[in-house]
Amino acid sequence: MKFGVVVFPGSNCEADCHHVIGEVLEEDVQYIWHQETDVSSYDCLILPGGFSYGDYLRCGAIARFSPVMETIANYAREGGLVIGICNGFQILLEAGLLPGATLKNTSLRFICRFVNLRVENDSTPWSNQGQAGQVLRIPIAHNEGNYIVGKDIYNRMVDEGRIVLRYCDKLGEVTPDANPNGAMDNIAGVCNEGFNVFGLMPHPERASEEILGSTDGLVIWESIMAHYRGKG
């Protein structure tokens, strides 16, 4: 399987993603500069975290206009797998590839720590190696992770199983105290209607090796590979 990690000016998690895919999972992976317009050779595209274009205007607002994004939109429309992590998620929101938006954390502070996430739907390309109700321990690192979406769209997302991850406590209970940023209904990760585009605020690439304190992020990466190989 061949992964492509998109790099924007200001990205800072591209090397982490590249390392996990190439060195931990031993899959083919290459960087894609934001000015490239051909992604046809890749099986999955990763939009990593960071501060694309310095987060000027809004997070992801300028990166959304990078040349590669029109190509990624076409790639997604044709069913290609696209995952956006943290700032990558925000870019997907700005590009309209996922519904909703992110606001500043309710604390008005940057938050960088491990959180607990409950798997809500284990039948997606991004979660099939987990189990519904399973609690994953994965870190976040953001200032604008407060996810919101219109009520009608939210209801449709719930009905269709497109909310994949929610912030929870260690026991898997979804509570206000377990919500680190004020996100609507503790939402941490969502899919598009076709389930081939996934965005999440937590960083699975930072929880893919024992030395980092958790390997729960591997559930995400291994799910992608299982789906691609027809086992998920």
CA nearest neighbour of 32 among 58, 74, 66: 66
Q: Is 13 a catalytic site residue?
A: no
CB 3 within 8 A of CB 46: yes
- 198: CB partners within 8 A, 6+ apart: 82, 83, 84, 124, 125, 126, 164, 189, 190, 191, 192
DSSP H helices in 52-181 = 67-77, 87-94, 151-160
Chain centre distance of CA 6: 13
Active site residue 203: yes
- Catalytic one of 18, 34, 142, 203: 203
CA distances to 10, 52, 117, 188, 218 from 109, rounded to whole Å, are: 20, 19, 20, 18, 28
Known catalytic residue: 205? yes
Q: At 216, is the secondary structure helix, strand, or coil?
A: coil
User: Phi, psi (5° rounding) for residue 167?
Assistant: -65, 140
User: Residue holding tokens 């304190």?
Assistant: 213
Of 13, 17, 59, 86, catalytic: 86
Decide: helix, strand or coil at residue 203.
Answer: coil
Q: Which residues are catalytic?
A: 86, 203, 205
